[in-house]
Each structure stands twice: as structure tokens, then as C-alpha cells.
Amino acid sequence: MPTGRQVKSAASGSGPVVHGFYEEDTGSWQYICADPATKACAIIDPVLDFDPAHARTSTESAEDLLRCIETNGYELAWILDTHPHADHLTAGHWLAGRTGAPHGIGERCTEIAELWRDYYHMPGAFPIKGDFDRLFADGESFKLGELDVRVMLSTGHTLGSITYVVGDAAFVHDTLMHVDVGTARADFPGGSTEELWRSIQRILDLPDETRLFIGHDYGTDDRDQPECEATVARHRADNPHVGGGRSREAFIALRDARDETLGLPERMLFALQVNLRGGRLPEPEADGHSYYKIPANRF
């Protein structure tokens, strides 16, 4: 797939303009969601570039987002994560430091932090309330310019995942994959296939014309360009995992069988200890360097 693919989507009515940015190394989609009336925008699920062979971070992807904001005359109002990602590091902390915009995530990330304190054997780690500016509850709403943003709890992939619904756009992260692929995995600690089914049903209850923007795409044998957007109506009709009237029982059987074949994401054990701190690296030690803690033989 080509590096740095970008797409732009505009609503036919009063919804947001959405810019999608593809990060090839992890197959991740990052977004800028903008109110066309006021130019207020939010960055959603930004990637902090990471080279696992050298444990080195860089900010090229996040800088692309800031250049787009400047080019379009947008004003950054929010930096939003949908959940603590397992496959990439978030650039939320770096962006907040550069721009002063508040960084938000779902309030149930405090429960995810409890799980990972045990996995890393770090009892005092991950003070979620101190490392994020805003923790959103299910059903909470806030403003993006003149647009209302509604938060939907969307558990299953993780127990703290949330969806942001902005007008006719919804950022559904790792629930659905592209409409020709299916759904996201539910086998991480705290995940649940049954809860993922319920979350997807809530998403598919949104109006037919709602544009659903996903968290990842890896292409298919028939499609080599990464894609990020399809409507509720298309997913309800054509998604091979949940469309066409597929039953809850059939989905759970299919999803569980698929998850049994999947290994851990390459960056997962690096990413969680950073993402549960809002994108902060581990605190530097006496020599001035940060060190990751990787549990051996736990997974």
C-alpha cells in the first residue's frame, strides 16, 4: 500500500469535513474532523511513529496532521483517542504539548489501566486522570464549533473503547473494519466478542446515511488501496461479519474462530505502557533515558 495516503470526505448537509491520514506501518487511520462553519477541528487517534527494532519514536505522522490544519485554516479544539491502542503509540501527548489543545479518552480506560498494571507489574503506574485532560462517559456530549459530538461506549475490542458521533459522521475505531472485510478482534485483555456484537448493533442503529470511519485497514486480495469510510446502510447490507441479517450466534462463532488465529500486534507491549499515559514515554531514569518494561512469558 502507498505510504501517506490521504482522503477527504465532506457531508452533503451540515456534518463535518473529515480528512483521513493513513499510517502504513500499522495500517492505522488518523483523522481531522472539522466544522466547516467555524473551522474548529478535532484530531482523532493520532499516531506517534515508532520503530520497534530500535525502540525509537518520531513525529512525522503527527506533523502531517498539523500541516493540514494550518493549510485549511482550522483551529484545533480537541485531541481525541477512542481507546488505548495496542498496535500503535498515540501522539496525543506530543500534540497537546505543541498546541495546548485538551486530550480526551473514555472514562473506562481507568479499568484498562488496572488490568495492565498487573501485566507490567507496575502497581502505581498509569494515572489516567492525571494524564488525560478529559475522560468521557457514555452518552456525554460536547461541542466542536457548532457541531454536537456525542460519545457512545463501544466495548468489545477493549472494555473502554468509545465512538465519537459528529453530525453524520461516526468514528468507530476498532469495532468495524472496512465494509468488504468485517470486524475487529475482541481477544485482548478485557475484550469480549459478545460486547463487540452489542456495540456494533448500536452503531448500525445510527441513520443509514451516517459515514462510519474505521480505525484500521490492511487492504484485501482484490483491493490494494487502504479505505476508511462506508455508510451504515452499506455495512448493514454487505459487511461479511454483521451484515445481511447475520445472527449474534453466527457472528460470535466466526469472530472467536478468527481471533484464535491472531498473534499479538508487534508494538503492543511497547504501546500500552505509553498509551495508558496519554502518549508519554516511561519516565527517564538517572541516565536521562526512558526504558520500556516488557513482560516475559505472559502472553
Phi then psi for residue 56, to 5 deg, are -115, 135
Superfamily for domain range 6-269: Ribonuclease Z/Hydroxyacylglutathione hydrolase-like (3.60.15.10)
* Domain boundary assignment for the chain: 6-269
Tell me the Cα Rg of the chain: 18
Q: Is the pTM of this model over 0.75?
A: yes
Where do the H-state alpha helices sit in 77-174? Answer: 92-99, 109-120, 128-131
pLDDT tens sequence for the chain (299 residues)? 334 789 988 876 779 999 999 999 999 999 999 999 999 999 999 999 999 999 999 999 999 999 999 999 999 999 999 999 999 999 999 999 999 999 999 999 999 999 999 999 999 999 999 999 999 999 999 999 999 999 999 999 999 999 999 999 999 999 999 999 999 999 999 999 999 999 999 999 999 999 999 999 998 999 989 999 999 999 999 999 999 999 999 999 999 999 999 999 999 999 999 999 999 999 999 999 999 999 999 98
Q: Which residue has the cell 472496512?
A: 178
pLDDT value of position 2: 36
